[in-house]
């Protein structure tokens, strides 16, 4: 059993220059209920940049050296006691809740609770599988919370981002009419993801109501700030507004409702059953997830700089 992991860690909060290579010693014996996974790919997400900057984990709770990363896909190389539903050699993917357990995925080997693992279907590349856990579960839970179903109208204010692409596809698959806001030169891309009506970037609530005069049944905010305010204002009375932007990151996307609007702030949670279903959808071609660029693990600083620039047409992944 491989007892060391090569990782990229931070020893203090700051910019991307804080990353450094480290060799981490793993326990000789796995904890009961745990498995050891050789990492094939780890996803990079905007939340990782927030964590690196010290905006997610209070300094007094931080454990340095810290490994970042929520997404992982790889192969099981060892199994602890009391694990009966995962076998050595299995191809798996998982979402860790890094700010809570600080067990990040920017590494070559990781120990995980077996209850987090979803099997990756035969035929689905592990690199693609690594793009799904956080973005896919966030998108799925947003669509659920927004009560999106056939005949509903739903506004998505960032339909072409890593999460938004999946929200768009899931909402469309449920039979909703999807209104998106993005640059119009990407209209064909948006339509391919299930967006019915694309409004230009910067479109306000009045522009949305020009298309849906009574207001949309639901709005899903992936941006925060004034953009979130406009999405909220585009919701009809007694409609639904859900934001994925936590108040700790930006409290301007959380509002008091005077129109009976059902408000929710999503905190994503692991769900191995639903993750397995999302992976199956991608494997079957019923949902797409795109890799924008691949980086070696040692190039994590460059990956963070690219993520910070925004405008990506897919996910960034790290390859150990």
Backbone angles phi, psi at 291, to 5 degrees: -90, 120
- Residue 214 is part of a domain; what is its CATH number? 3.40.50.720
pLDDT for position 311: 86
Which tens digit of pLDDT belongs to each residue from 46-70?
Answer: 999 999 999 999 999 999 999 999 9
Q: Give the chain's domain count.
A: 2
Look up the domain containing 107 and give its range: 4-131+290-319
pLDDT for position 1: 73
Which tens digit of pLDDT belongs to each residue from 144-196?
Answer: 999 999 999 999 999 999 999 999 999 999 999 999 999 999 999 999 999 99
Check: CB of residue 128 under 8 Å from CB of residue 153.
Answer: no
DSSP H or E segment with residue 284:
none
- In a domain, residue 274? The reply is no
pLDDT for position 245: 87
Residues 95 and 153 in one domain: no
| pTM of the predicted model as reported, rounded to 2 decimal places | 0.95
Residues 219 and 301 in one domain: no
pLDDT for position 130: 98
Residues 215 and 188 in one domain: yes
Residues 123 and 152 in one domain: no
- Residue 49 is part of a domain; what is its CATH number? 3.90.180.10
Which tens digit of pLDDT belongs to each residue from 224-267?
Answer: 888 999 999 999 999 999 999 876 555 555 666 679 999 999 99
Which regions of the chain does DSSP assign to beta strands (E)? 4-10, 20-25, 34-44, 66-67, 71-79, 91-95, 109-113, 118-119, 153-156, 177-181, 197-199, 216-221, 235-243, 262-265, 291-296, 315-319
Q: Is the peptide bond between 65 and the residue preceding it cis, with omega within 30 degrees of 0?
A: yes
| Lookup: tokens for 218 | 């639901």
pLDDT for position 250: 59
Residues 14 and 93 in one domain: yes
Residues 150 and 182 in one domain: yes
| Lookup: tokens for 44 | 């990079």
């Amino acid at each position: 059993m491989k007892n060391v992991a090569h990782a990229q860690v931070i020893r203090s909060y700051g910019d991307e220059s804080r990353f450094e290579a480290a060799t981490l010693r793993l326990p000789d014996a796995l904890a009961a209920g745990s498995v050891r996974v050789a990492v094939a790919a780890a996803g990079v997400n905007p939340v990782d940049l927030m964590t690196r900057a010290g905006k997610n984990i209070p300094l007094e709770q931080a454990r340095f050296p810290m490994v970042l990363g929520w997404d992982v896909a790889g192969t099981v190389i060892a199994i602890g006691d009391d694990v009966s539903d995962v076998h050595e050699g299995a191809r798996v993917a998982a979402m860790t809740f890094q700010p809570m357990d600080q067990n990040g995925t920017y590494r070559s080997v990781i120990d995980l609770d077996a209850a987090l693992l979803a099997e990756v279907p035969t035929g689905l590349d592990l690199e693609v599988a690594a793009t799904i856990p956080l973005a896919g579960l966030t998108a799925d839970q947003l669509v659920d919370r927004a009560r999106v179903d056939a005949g509903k109208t739903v506004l998505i204010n960032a339909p072409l981002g890593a999460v938004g692409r999946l929200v768009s596809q899931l909402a469309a698959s449920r039979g909703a009419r999807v209104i998106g806001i993005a640059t119009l030169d990407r209209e064909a891309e948006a339509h391919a993801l299930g967006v019915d009506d694309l409004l230009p970037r910067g479109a306000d609530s009045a522009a949305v109501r020009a298309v849906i005069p009574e207001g949309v049944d639901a709005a899903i905010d992936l941006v925060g700030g004034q953009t979130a305010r406009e999405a909220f204002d585009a919701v009809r009375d007694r409609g639904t507004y859900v934001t994925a932007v936590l108040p700790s990151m930006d409290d301007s996307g959380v509002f008091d409702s005077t129109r009976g609007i059902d408000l929710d702030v999503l905190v994503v949670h692991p769900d191995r059953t639903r993750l397995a279903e999302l992976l199956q959808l991608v494997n079957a071609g019923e949902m797409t997830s795109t890799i924008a660029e691949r980086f070696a693990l040692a190039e994590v600083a460059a990956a963070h700089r690219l993520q910070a620039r925004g405008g990506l047409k897919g996910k960034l992944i790290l390859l150990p």
